[in-house]
Structure 1
Amino acid sequence: MVKVIIYTGLSLPFDEARELLDSHDDVEVIYKKPIKRGDLGHDIKENPDIIGIIDGVFHQNSSVGHKEILNVIDKGVTVVGSSSMGALRASELDTLGMHGIGYVYEQYATGKVASDDDVAVMLDSETLESLSEPLINMDYVFTNAVSENIITSDEKDELIQIAKSTFYPKRNYSKTLNESNLDDEKKSKLINFIRTSPDIKKEDAKELIKYIAGIVK
């Protein structure tokens, strides 16, 4: 029996995660809320073989520490990270045994993104619903909007500057667009583009689940 623990719920809801990987005769999968400091020390007692870190707390509680993750790796547990806290920690520990997956991880690993603010969101602690928009998602969408000639590079820079200057719990597309100098026609086109754009953190979370599913098959 292979035991897997995955910390998610925000980037990828539990029910959607289970559609990609659920417990069966040979695998036990346990989905837990976003990881915080101390969780690994407690959860390692469940003897997991694989740990997937997607979401974690940044400001509500102390975030998961590097030594906590390394201690788990030293015990022979495979640790994989993506999307949010997982991507951040993987980029810091990928040379020490942690595996990184996805776009957000690559952004951190290559130095294009450096701050935890880029993936931070305000969340409802009960429902795990995101109450703000992560900057990494906004940058991804606006970059693609430039490629589609919906906005110019200068307009993207303005939008990102507005988003960066907004405290993360209040960061969202509506506020960012309303404070920009975009005309109404461009705003309308960009809003439609945003509505049809993928949530990159969610896509990365799915990629992590699929990666683990491939290991345990």
Structure 2
Amino acid sequence: MADKVTVFVGPSLGRDRPTYHGLEVDYRPPASQGDLLAAAVDGPKAIVLIDGYFEHVPAVHHKEILWALDKGIAVYGASSIGALRAAELSSFGMIGVGKIFEAFESGELERDDEVALVHGPAEVNYEPLSEPLVNIRSTLSFALESGVVDREIAETLINRTKAAFYPERSFGRLLRDLEHHADRVQAARFASWLPRGRLDQKRMDAVACLARATADILQPPGEHGHSSIGFVFTDAFAQLVRCTAAGLPLGSQVAHRLIRLGSDTKAGLSSVYASGATSAAALAIDRATQGPVPVRSLGETVQFFLEQVPGGDVGTWMKTRNLDLDTLSRILEELARMDRSFEAADELVQRVVHSKLKIS
């Protein structure tokens, strides 16, 4: 069976999806919080994080990357949020690739809006609708090196682009800014050069990252390895595990593995972690019965949920969280299962706590 590589990518590669002989490459949409955790539980040889969400949707959490690394899964990052996370976690073993990663790691770049852009949905291959600042920087640097523009124009254009909100950044806007520049010769030269001289740094880094990851995996055994980083299972991570599992379809193998992770870990070593472990254990215990949730238990859960929704406006609440009715129903059923078995699970976790404390 071929080694598996999970890749989170969107606008940085567009419609292109390279294949590699001897590897199963699982291309997934841009990552949000919990996606990398679910991928890691599925057991790939490596994870490549390129594109992800980080404004209107919760971003990939550092802890899910650290957990994957601790389990011996190589995690690579480049281009977009992958470059940001790799710069933040390179000392823990995440592997960053490309010029954008290097700029963030060195401190040359600091703002996450450097890589931000607006793009279309999966149906149009995440077509970019704006230009990320890192691409504009690389293009202007290339134009400067090629003698197309001088440093004064390059710096002026960079500063104007930085001042614009990221959805409004584009090369079209750049050319409109040049129309008012005093040096008409340079402005005309840059406009003529741009169509063939534009650099897509995010794409170049994404391709380089995939090449690095696949080359590492295809090396003979023993030539590269990943050691444990001493991962600490916190209550916040337990909640992330639980929420990720609840958002997956019932019966999903990944959801089942996440539930086992939540109930089978070091969380019992401290009472601070008990709530996350107890909830996960409750869900695992109740699923083991394979029976339906009693109408009364489900009704109580639904009633409690409705009381928590601001103004009782369930439609708006669901829309802001991108949930459909089927997904909400599954989550409520999972919560009802947790509630029904919480007492038994709490007793189980307490036994684990005492056992662990005696050992240590």
> Normalised by the size of structure 2, how large is the TM-score?
0.56
Counterpart position of 1:99: 95
Structure (1/2) with the larger helix percentage: 2
Which ranges of structure 2 fall in alignment gaps of 5 or more residues?
Answer: 219-360
Pairwise CA RMSD: 1.6
Contact 1:117 1:168 in 2 (8 A): yes
Deviations 1:130-155 (A, max 9, x none): 10000011011111211222211111
Contact 1:17 1:206 in 2 (8 A): no
2: distance between equivalents of 1:27 and 1:134?
31
Please tell me whether the aligned partners of residues 49 and 75 of structure 2 are also in contact (alpha carbons under 8 angstroms).
yes
Q: Which residue of 2 aligns with 1:204?
A: 205
CA distance in 1, matches of 2:100, 2:184: 31
Kindly indicate whether residue 38 of structure 2 is the aligned counterpart of residue 37 of structure 1. no
Pick from 67, 72, 94: which aligns with 1:71?
67
Residues 1:169 and 2:167 aligned together: yes
Q: Structure 1 residue 173: deviation in Å? A: 1.1
Tell me which protein shows more strand as a share of its residues.
Answer: 1
Matched position secondary structure for 1:17: coil
- Residue correspondences, number: 212
CA drift at 1:176: 2.3
Q: Quick one: distance in 1 between partners of 2:39 and 2:141?
A: 39
More relative contact order, 1 or 2 (CA 8 Å, 6+ apart) = 1
| TM-score (ref. length: structure 1) | 0.91
CA distance in 2, matches of 1:191, 1:66: 41
Taking the aligned partners of 1:199 and 1:99, their CA distance within structure 2 comes to 21
The superposition leaves residues 170-195 of structure 1 with CA deviations (integer Å, 9 ceiling, x where unpaired) of: 11011123124434432332133322
1:17 alignment partner AA = R
Identity %: 33
Structure 1 segment 5-20 matched on structure 2, within 5 A: 5-14=6-15, 16-18=16-18
CA distance in 1, matches of 2:38, 2:214: 24
Q: What is the CA deviation profile of residues 28-47 of structure 1, one whole-angstrom value per residue up to 9, with x for unaligned ones?
A: 11001111111122222321
* Contact 1:7–1:52 under 8 Å retained in 2: yes
Paired residue type of 1:139:
R
CA distance in 1, matches of 2:101, 2:171: 23
Higher mean alpha-carbon deviation, 75-84 vs 169-178, is at 169-178
Output aligned runs, 1:132-151, within 5 Å: 132-151=130-149
Separation (CA, whole Å) in 2 of partners of 1:132 and 1:37: 24
Moved more, 102-111 or 180-189: 180-189
| CA deviation vs aligned residue, 1:38-96 (integer Å, no higher than 9, x gap) | 11222223211100011111213111111111111111110001111111110111011
Q: Does 1:194 align with 2:212?
A: no
Cα distance in 1 between the residues matched to 2:172 and 2:14? 24
For the pair 1:58 / 2:54, whether they are aligned, the reply is yes
- 3-state SS in 2 of match to 1:179: helix
1: CA distance, partners of 2:62 / 2:51:
15
The residue matched to 1:143 in structure 2 has which SS?
helix
1:154 aligned residue (127, 148, 152): 152
Q: Distance in 2 between matches of 1:57 and 1:87?
A: 13
